[in-house]
Amino acid sequence: MSQFGDFEALCALVPSYTWCNLFYRQLLDENPKTLVGPSAKATSAPVGVNPECGIPRVNTDGSLGNIADVIVCGLSIFIVAAIIVHAGRRKAAVGRTEIRILFFIYLATLPLQLLTTGSLLQQGSTALVALTAIHAGLVATLFWWLLGNAIVATQIVEDGTLSSIIPLSIIGVFFFIATTYISLDVALTLTNTFGPSNPPQALTSVPLFVLTSIWPGVAALIYLGLMLYIVVGILNEVRPVWYYVISAILFILSQLAYFLLSKVICQGSSAKVDGSFIATLLETATVVVLYVAWRSITEEDWDNDGYYP
């Protein structure tokens, strides 16, 4: 029976679940006999640990890897880069620096996602473990900066100044270092603090589960609540509310596609694609709508609003 912090079910039922790369290496080092089925041979193993359906590593029996997600990640890089450029042109917009940092971090996660879930690198390899750990660190940091943007939007501190950037950066670095270290400890068993799992097949890590699954959801929920309060309670506007609601819906749909549709799509396509490309597409759409929402509350026709410094 699964307990809080167990990744066993996720690694078996959700194709291309990124953090399973860490547990594959752990089992490869500590209990290789527990790796069976498609996971038994590291050179061709898909992302996951004993997955019910997984995309074989590229060039295995003609496999193209997770080609659909690779393509969507590549396209998303250009889309997010364009958003960053456009956001930079709004010189007087509130929170311009902070939101560009948020987008830069999301941009950095895309090539890492391409490599960690694309079935391009060999399972259990040090390179894949290191990239996955960095990816986890950036994801935890990303959601801190998301929440940080909401805090800045309340104008508790002046946006774009050292009093805003330094505290947000220090906490962001803490999230990155802590999550990356925990991820490496899970994979490489550097200490007995965060690994190995007991029993091995449970794939247990409560800290990793909290930082990669619970924390993003909590941060996103608080962000949505703060932004709705600012838009409705302070700006007394309605239109931006719809942008934030749409972004929330897109984010939820992305998670549903990832966790619920991936296996169905994987089995239906004979393990050629899974739902990760839909999830990536919806996550990038979420970022685009967040940019539109931010732009809508910093338009020039609201210059006299108390929201402006």
Q: Give Cα separations from 3 to 6, 18, 151, 167 (angstroms).
A: 6, 20, 34, 35
Determine the pLDDT at residue 186.
94
Determine the pLDDT at residue 1.
54
Read off the pTM. Answer: 0.93
Adjacent-strand bridge partners of 6 = 204
At residue 135, what are phi and psi to the nearest 5 degrees?
A: -60, -45
Q: Is the dihedral of CA 34, 40, 46, 51 positive or negative?
A: negative
What is the Cα–Cα distance from 41 to 28, expressed in whole angstroms?
10
Residue carrying structure tokens 């992305």 = 254
Determine the pLDDT at residue 216.
97
Query: What are the pLDDT tens digits along the chain (309 aa)?
Result: 568 999 999 999 999 999 999 999 999 998 899 999 999 999 999 999 999 999 999 998 889 999 999 999 999 999 999 999 999 988 777 889 999 999 999 999 999 999 999 999 999 999 999 999 999 999 999 999 999 999 999 888 888 888 899 999 999 999 999 999 999 999 998 888 876 787 888 899 999 999 999 999 999 999 999 999 999 998 888 889 999 999 999 999 999 999 999 999 999 999 999 999 999 999 999 999 999 999 998 754 444 444 443
Determine the pLDDT at residue 299.
59
